[in-house]
A and B are shown apart, each in its own frame.
Chain A
Amino acid sequence: MGVEIRVEGLTKSFGRQTIWQDVSLTLPAGEISVLLGPSGTGKSVFLKSLVGLLKPDRGHIWVGDRDLPYLPEAQLYETRKLFGVLFQDGALFGSMNIYDNVAFPLREHTKKSESEVKRIVMEKLELVGLLGAEKKLPGEISGGMKKRAGLARALVLNPEILLVDEPDSGLDPVRTSYLNQTIVDLNAEIGATFLIVTHDINTARTVPDNIGLLFRRELVMFGPREMLLSSEEPVVRQFLNARKIGPIGMSEEKDVSELEAEAKQGHDPGKLPPIPPQLMTSDGRIRPGQHAPGAWCAAHGVTPPPGSFVDDLGRNWVEEWPRYVASMAPAGGPPPGAHPGGAPGHFPGNPPPGQQGAGAGY
């Protein structure tokens, strides 16, 4: 269930322009990670590099024991079957209807009978709420539906890794929330490793287990959600709180004089807002990769900002969690934290294995 992706020292440039350099991170198996960054920092380029659509200049991308950029073509195509990718506009094949689009990977890669294909396609379409639209052409449906259809197509081969490029672009906030919920539920369902590229702060604050931030051609930080949400690092703090005050300017970065002027005017970055509780699955199931609320903060002696982990009903999830885990344990499968991906230890700043991961700290 889920495959770990280890990225080491990845560098990519187009001509003389460096997009990013020395990006190293580990996407823990079965967990949801979000990659953030201002527009134009090469988030989509990073995503495309991960599936081998773009070849990096330097560095390694380990998918299991295979180093993706250096694979021969046949093996690359083979490895790509582990991936499901949802492109920005769904990237549906314009000449096929929704049904054929979703059935396409099955017909290409499996020897399943047409009735079997139909069963799987209908199942996936139901999962994304598109039953009844299967005879429509991509040109006849809205952006949100295209995205969901693209998601269904990315899912038919039961991918081990799901990459999502800007699930929120062009969607209204309500549809974005639904899509976020779908992503979380999917993660619980198929247990794949997720990477979501976005610049939607709300998504980034509530959905993932891990967050990474690209800025100024570098990966500023990558780690558990709580680590970034409680970070005092100016770039991280500015971006995750969508503020004007900080090093990020309108065009990439502010110059020194602007920063000095800000400092002189006495702008202070203000208090960190509370860390919101993480989005739960809609049936209340605990995802295999889910981290226990407050676990990272507790393990690293960080005091989360006041009001953190408190939901709309006023429940503090740090206190609620052990009870919740206990109440869920008999009903649903293995206890959380038992999966191998719950103890990632590769990226800097990660707690040692055992202290992090769902409920393991309790």
Chain B
Amino acid sequence: MSTPGIGADQRGDGKGGGSSTTFRKIGDGAANIAIREPGRFFALCLDTGRAMFKWPFQWREFIQQAWFIVSVTVVPTMLVAIPFGGILSLQVGGLIRQLGAQSYTGATAVVAIVREASPLVTSLLVAGAAGSAICADLGSRKIREEIDAMEVLGINPLHRLVVPRMLACAFVALFLNGLVSVVGLMGGYFFNVMLQDGTPGAYLASFNAIAQLPDLLQAEFKAFVFGITAGLVAAYKGLNAKGGPKGVGDAVNQTVVITFMLLFLENFLISALYFQFVPSKGM
């Protein structure tokens, strides 16, 4: 007497087997990526925003963190900015010479560096150096249960740790942006004058031919937004690290990748809006 019903039942009960379980797992994963993670991230952003206006502000932590971020970003920023300016000069310089607009080399360099290059370099450094450092710091605190201990001691880690870090990140990003602009232009000047036989006077004279003050302001605005974003993503990933030291490593990795993507997206959006609202000079 065969009992087919029993066999069918067993297949349904099998652990982890069956297509329905697989589908459910995939569905769970998709829901996690599409809804849950962004949802939690926004919740953290809102909580941080609320914690930002709580008194007293952690000045000490803010200054320490700002100094720390400066120390990990300034040198790499300069080292990236110099060749960036140089490459721009090399690429654009040749083209411009062919068009016979050599006297405008300076103008193109200013536009390219101030409008786009410096926010991009800033975003790379803020995400890669500052964000990863913040995430590693918070993540290791999380797995050592320091964050839990802090909460148990009645202290809100968002107010105590995340707000000063995020603001320090934004604050330093403002200066990094300025630094990239200056160093990049100096690099461009050097390459143009020394290697491409440009005239120093023409380079400097055409500086404000196309560029205008709002260009600098939008770049600084971008840098500020980048700093806030990098700080928040790093905090989110760091505070949710789990599974020991490897978990921290994963969190840092994800922080860098996610921050990069977000910053490039933000850069695009802000640029697009900027061109809508601010008319270009002389066009």
A interface, CB within 8 angstroms of B: 15, 48, 51, 53, 73, 77-78, 80-81, 83, 85, 87-89, 91-94, 104-105, 108-109, 150, 153, 157
Contacts and interface: CB of A to CB of B under 8 A. Distances in A.
Interface string B171-189: 0000000000000000000
Contacts of B153: 80, 104-105, 108-109, 153, 157
Contacts of A51: 151-152
Closest 4 CB pairs of A and B: A91-B149, A91-B145, A87-B145, A85-B152
Contacts of B28: 15
A53 B150 CA distance: 11
A81 B148 contact: no
Main secondary structure of the interface of B (DSSP, over half): helix
A91 B155 contact: no
Interface residues of B, number: 15
B201 interface: no
Contact of B155 (A78, A88, A108): A108
5 contacts: A48-B148, A77-B154, A78-B154, A85-B149, A108-B155
Contacts of A150: 149
Contacts of B152: 51, 53, 80, 83, 85
B146 A88 contact: no
Contacts of A87: 145, 148-149
A89 B144 contact: yes
Contacts, number: 54
Please indicate which of the listed interface residues B28, B145, B156 has the most CB atoms of chain A within 10 Å of its own CB. Answer: B145
Given A78-B154, A94-B146, 16 more contacts: A48-B148, A51-B152, A73-B156, A77-B154, A80-B152, A80-B153, A85-B148, A85-B152, A89-B145, A91-B148, A91-B149, A94-B141, A104-B153, A105-B154, A109-B153, A109-B154
B261 to A, nearest CB: 27
Most buried by B among A89, A91, A94: A91
Contacts of A94: 140-141, 144, 146
A94 B142 CA distance: 12
Contacts of B141: 93-94
A88 B146 CA distance: 11
A88 to B, nearest CB: 7
Contacts of B151: 51, 53, 77, 80
Nearest to A77: B154
B35 to A, nearest CB: 15
B154 A91 contact: no
A37 to B, nearest CB: 20
A88 B156 contact: no
B59 to A, nearest CB: 15
Interface string B127-161: 00000000000001100111011111111100000
Contacts of B149: 85, 87, 91-93, 150
A108 B153 CA distance: 9
Interface string B20-38: 0000000010000000000
Contact of A91 (B140, B146, B156): B146
Interface in B49-82: none
A92 B153 CA distance: 12
Nearest to A81: B154
Nearest to A165: B145
A312 B168 CA distance: 62
A80 B154 contact: yes
A77 B150 CA distance: 11
Nearest to A51: B152
A357 B156 CA distance: 39
A80 B141 CA distance: 20
A53 B154 contact: no
B154 to A, nearest CB: 5
A164 to B, nearest CB: 12
B36 to A, nearest CB: 11
Nearest to A104: B153
Contacts of A91: 144-146, 148-149
B234 to A, nearest CB: 17
Contacts of B140: 94
Contacts of B156: 73, 77
A345 to B, nearest CB: 29
Contacts of B155: 77, 108
A73 B151 CA distance: 11
Contacts of A80: 151-154
A157 B141 CA distance: 22
A81 B151 CA distance: 10
